[in-house]
Amino acid sequence: MFNSHYHFLLIIFLIPVSLMAYEPIRVGVSIPPQQYLVERIGTEYVEVQVMMKPGDSPEIFDPSLRLLSKLNKTQLYFRIGVAFENKWIRSIEENNKQLKVIDCCENIIETNSLSLDNHVWTSARNLQRLATLVKDELIRIDPDHSLHYEQNYAILIIDLKQLDNEITVLLNDRRTDYFIISHAAFGHFAKDYGLVQMALENEGKQLGAQSLVNIIRHARQEKISTLFVQKQHPSTTALAFASEIGAEIIEVDPLHRDYLSNLRNITKLIAGAIR
């Protein structure tokens, strides 16, 4: 009996620390693309709580008290600049003193001079900067697994650079720089590749009649026959606009969690529309 007990204790003490139970870092994010980013870098060492679910719109989303309560033990929260964050982020910080809130997009927006488009994640180049921020914060909290985070980050950066190159090639052969979308979600994407996004609304506000007339005139001049509609923003204005210029309506989802495949597919759709 004594020997068995001794051997059991010996086995426990010989188990490497890395194989023993580990409490993951609790991370809060606002949108599914951020969840993808944090989980790619942190893998099993993070537990991610994403606020929005597929189909939710950042402009009108209002998290429930039950959903907010899940952030009570969160250690990190990565802000991405969506509207609903401003309504409750201070109260969460007051109720959770251990929470560190990191603003992911402020510097990117200032650098790119796109103050009216906070959809920074639609740029694969911007996401590389966000990945660096996430990696650094995870290492700060959990230096024991810094090599793990560094390795995952390096692989992710390779994937994002490859995607950036693919996008450049896909958009290289085009007859126009302009594309039309129901909601201003791809300003950062457009800036990266020399495109011009013409949006029928921005931050939930529809353009005035004269602005819409100007876009219709420009669409006819550029022979644009496609209108992209963001999945989260169904709009009667978009339907009427498409009818006016005889445009095909194509739905896109910039909030899809499968970031690489989704942005690659959206690029193919935009490339097809501007050839």
User: What is the per-residue pLDDT across 105-151, written as a single tens digit (0 to 9) for each?
Assistant: 876 755 555 555 788 999 999 999 999 999 999 999 999 999 999 99
- The CATH class, in words, for 174-274 is alpha beta
CA 252 – CA 275 distance, rounded (Å):
18
- DSSP, res 207: P
CA–CA distance from 105 to each of 23, 176, 199 (Å)?
28, 29, 21
Q: How far is CA 193 from CA 165, 170, 251, in A?
A: 11, 10, 21
H or E element that contains 48: strand 46-50
User: Where does the chain have alpha helices with state H?
Assistant: 2-14, 32-42, 65-69, 85-95, 106-112, 124-141, 146-172, 187-192, 209-221, 236-245, 259-274
Position 67 confidence tier, pLDDT thresholds 50, 70, 90 = confident
Contact (CB, 8 A) for 149 and 139: yes
Q: Do domains 15-167 and 174-274 have the same CATH topology?
A: yes
Q: Would you list the domain boundaries of the chain?
A: 15-167, 174-274
| Confidence band of 10 (pLDDT split at 50, 70, 90) | very low
Highest mean pLDDT, choosing among 4-8, 61-65, 251-255: 251-255
**Beta-strand relationship, 248-252 and 226-230:** parallel
Which tens digits make up the pLDDT trace of 20-29?
A: 567 899 999 9
- At 174-207, the pLDDT tens digits run 999 999 999 899 999 999 999 999 999 866 677 8
Q: Give the Cβ contact number of residue 135 at 10 Å.
A: 22
Predicted local confidence at residue 244, as pLDDT? 93
pLDDT in tens, 243-261: 999 999 999 999 999 999 9
Distance between CA atoms of residues 108 and 131, nearest Å: 13
Q: What topology is assigned to 15-167 in CATH? A: Rossmann fold (3.40.50)
CA dist., res. 208 & res. 177, Å (int) = 23
